[in-house]
Amino acid sequence: MSTAHTLPPLFVSHGSPMIALEPGATGAFFTRLGRTLDASFGCPRAILAVSAHTAARRPVLLAAPRHHTVHDFGGFSDALYRLRYDAPGAPALAAEVARCLTAAGVGVEVQDAGGLDHGIWTALMHLWPEPEVPVLPLSLVADAAPDAQFAIGAALAPLAETGVLVLGTGSITHNLRLLSWGAGEGGPERPESAAFRHWVYERGQARDWDALFDYRRQAPHAALMHPTDEHWLPFYVPAGAGGRAHAPVRLHDAVTLGALGMDAYAFGPHAARLHEALELG
């Protein structure tokens, strides 16, 4: 499953856990994205995943040889709890990641522990339906500022050149109190959500990283769209792996439930190539 190509780091919005059973437009995009990555870049040798739902006070790598499926949610259909995505782990990659982070002055702990939270497995089950690609979760340091998240990603940049997919998973907008549960996909979007998503796109196009780091003050309706920011912070890790020199490329532009943004972005020098391949496919 190795590849000689450099993989563009990615941020995806995973949305509700129900995307596992009701994939909709975003699930269909994930399926197309996985196929396009395989065809254009080669299957990743491993996935380094940073999720809103696995957090710690400092970076922790879950380096078990195999992962179990974590159903870290409540109140959903019984069918959702019966789904499994038990992927192989990546203990050898954990040593590589630890070396990269340590060299950059970032302390990291490696644990012989496993488990994929729903922010990871509900996306991966559509990207690669067969759980064959090894996965290495890296905990989100939820109290670290965006520029610190970016620095962690920058330390991981060399891994992308060796066939590792650096993947951040969260939501571009995430305020559960604002969701219209009857709206589904394609329904009217709250203007505050649209304004925030458009601001991220525009600042990205301008490569205005300083504004993106300062999103809490500068982005419209930032506190409303992210009362807590753990679902947005995973954006900055793959962004850092892609580097400042390249504008983020939006691969998917969508919203569900009126205010749950489902945008996806690619980063780095190969992001535009991925976008072109998706458009052609």
CA 34/CA 13 separation, integer angstroms: 15
What is the model's pLDDT at position 12?
98
| Spatial contact of 204 and 184, defined as CB atoms under 8 Å apart | no
Considering the chain, what is the average pLDDT of its residues? Answer: 95
Q: What are phi and psi of 24, to 5 degrees?
A: 55, -160
CA 62/CA 13 separation, integer angstroms: 22
> pTM (2 decimals)?
0.96
What is the model's pLDDT at position 248?
98
Structure tokens at 256: 């569900």
Reference 155, options 101, 79, 207; nearest CA is 101
What is the model's pLDDT at position 4?
47
| Spatial contact of 163 and 117, defined as CB atoms under 8 Å apart | no
Ranges of the chain with pLDDT below 50: 1-4
What is the model's pLDDT at position 184?
65
**What sign does the dihedral 55-160-238-249 (CA atoms) show?**
negative
Task: Please enumerate in sequence order all residues whose Cβ is within 8 A of that of 25, keeping only pairs 6 or more positions apart, or say none.
Answer: 185, 186, 254, 262
Q: Candidates 2.40.110.10, 3.40.50.10490, 3.30.450.20, 3.40.830.10; correct CATH number of 10-280?
A: 3.40.830.10
Share of the chain above pLDDT 70, in %: 97
Q: How many residues does the chain have?
A: 281
Widest CA span in the chain: 49
What is the model's pLDDT at position 180?
84
What is the model's pLDDT at position 281?
77
| Spatial contact of 105 and 58, defined as CB atoms under 8 Å apart | no
